[in-house]
């Protein structure tokens, strides 16, 4: 008997072993497809996150530099206005104002960091859906 005849019964239908291997092959192909799709989503999210962080850092630096220059020149102007009468008081008030601004900025920064959604949130959600679907099928 040839090898082909041992795998098929006389009616031409595939033997259960071939069906099992085909089913396993399909299952593995589905898992690889799911993993491929999720990895593509992951890389897309990482690229978007890197671009967003880069833009935020750049614009934060520009805004911070401009604000610091404005505050510094404003403080100098106030000190120069009160140079003859209350220059020490004007300098102390400007220093206090800068300290208040820095504390407020730190509070806002902490709130922003705590409110930020987790990185790769969409990828993790899709993986959780995949896990739940696979569990329901098993």
What share of the chain has pLDDT > 70, as a percent?
A: 85
pLDDT tens-digit readout, 36-63: 888 888 888 888 888 888 888 888 888 8
Residues 93 and 45: their CA atoms lie apart, in Å, by 46
Decide if pLDDT at 5 tops 60.
no
pTM: 0.45
Q: Is 82 helix (H, G, I), strand (E, B) or coil?
A: coil
pLDDT tens-digit readout, 71-119: 888 888 888 888 888 888 888 888 888 888 888 888 888 888 888 777 6
Maximal CA-CA distance, the chain: 115
């Amino acid at each position: 008997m040839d090898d082909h005849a041992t795998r098929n019964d006389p009616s031409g239908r595939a033997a259960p072993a071939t069906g099992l291997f085909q089913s396993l092959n399909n299952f593995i192909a589905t898992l690889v497809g799911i993993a491929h799709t999720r990895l593509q989503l992951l890389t897309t999210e990482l690229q978007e996150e890197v671009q967003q962080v880069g833009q935020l850092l750049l614009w934060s630096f520009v805004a911070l530099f401009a604000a610091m220059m404005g505050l510094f020149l404003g403080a100098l102007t106030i000190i120069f206005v009160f140079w003859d009468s209350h220059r020490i008081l004007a300098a102390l008030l400007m220093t206090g104002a800068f300290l208040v601004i820095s504390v407020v900025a730190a509070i806002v920064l902490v709130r922003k960091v705590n409110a930020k959604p987790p990185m790769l949130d969409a990828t993790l959600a899709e993986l959780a859906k995949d896990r739940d679907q696979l569990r329901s099928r098993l």
